[in-house]
Amino acid sequence: EVQLVESGGGLVQPGGSLRLSCAGSGFTFSSYWMSWVRQAPGKGLQWVANIKQDAGDIHYVGSVKGRFTISRDNAKSSLYLQMNSLRPEDTAVYYCAREGGGHYSDYWGQGTLVTVSS
Amino acid sequence: QSALTQPASVSGSPGQSITISCTGTSSDVGVYNSVSWYQQHPGKAPKLIIWDVSNRPSGVSNRFSGSKSGNTASLTISGLQAEDEADYYCCSYTTIRTWVFGGGTKLTVL
C-alpha cells in the first residue's frame, strides 16, 4: 500500500525557517517525480514545487522561488521542503504527493500544518 | 500564472447529473491534455478522480467522467449520490513547466 507521511509542520514567526519531510513507503520512491501542494485555511489547492526522480529537474511556483527548496533522498525514500523567509501568506497545510507517471498526483499524504505568525 | 476558473458552487439532487467547468488559457488547459481532477472531503487529503482529461484511476466510479474543448475542461458526475458532496479541483500542466489548480467548486447534493 502506497503511503506518504508528512512531518515538520508547526508555528514559526515571520522571517523564520522550517523544514518539512515526507516519508514514502509501499512503492519504489526513486522511480517517481514528487510534489508539494499547499492549502491555506479555507482556501483552494496551490501547487508549490516538484522534483524529478534523480533531482536533476526542479520547478517552483513563482511566489516561493528563492525562498523554498525542494529536495529528496532516494536512499531514505524521503522528500523535503526547506522553507526560508516565511511569510504569513505561507500559512497552509502542506501536502506531499506522488506524480503518477504524468502531470497528475495519484497519491497524497495527510498533510502537515504550517502556521506563520508572530 | 493565474488560477484556472471554476464555479464556486454547484448543486444537484440525488440521481441527477452535474457538470463542473474549468477554464484556463492557451498556456495551460488549451495546449496540453494534462488536466486532472481531484475530490476533497472536509478535513481530508485530495483524491485523484480523473487524469489526462478523461482517464479514471482504478477504483474510481464510472459515474465520473472528464472532457476538454479548447481552453475549457469539464468534469461530469452522473447519478449523483450523497457521498459525492465534496470540493472538486481541476489542475493543468503549463507551458512554464509548473502546475496550476482551479479555485475549487463546492458540490452540494440536495
The string of pLDDT tens digits covering residues A75-115 is 999 999 999 999 999 999 999 999 998 899 999 999 999 99
Q: Considering chain A, what percentage of its residues have pLDDT values greater than 90? A: 98
Q: What Cα–Cα distance (Å) separates residue A76 from each residue in A35, A42, B6, B73?
A: 17, 33, 39, 38
| pLDDT-derived band at A39, boundaries 50, 70, 90 | very high
pLDDT at residue A19, rounded to an integer: 98
pLDDT at residue B62, rounded to an integer: 96
pLDDT at residue B2, rounded to an integer: 86
A110 contacts chain B (CB < 8 A): yes
Search chain B and give the residue with CA nearest A109. B45
Give the one of A47, A62, A100 whose C-beta lies nearest to B99's C-beta. A47
Interface of B with A in 72-101 (CB under 8 A): 89, 91-93, 97-101
| pLDDT-derived band at B43, boundaries 50, 70, 90 | very high
Which residues on adjacent β-strands are paired with residue B50?
B37
Amino acid letter, B30: G
Q: What is the mean pLDDT of chain B?
A: 96
B7 contacts chain A (CB < 8 A): no
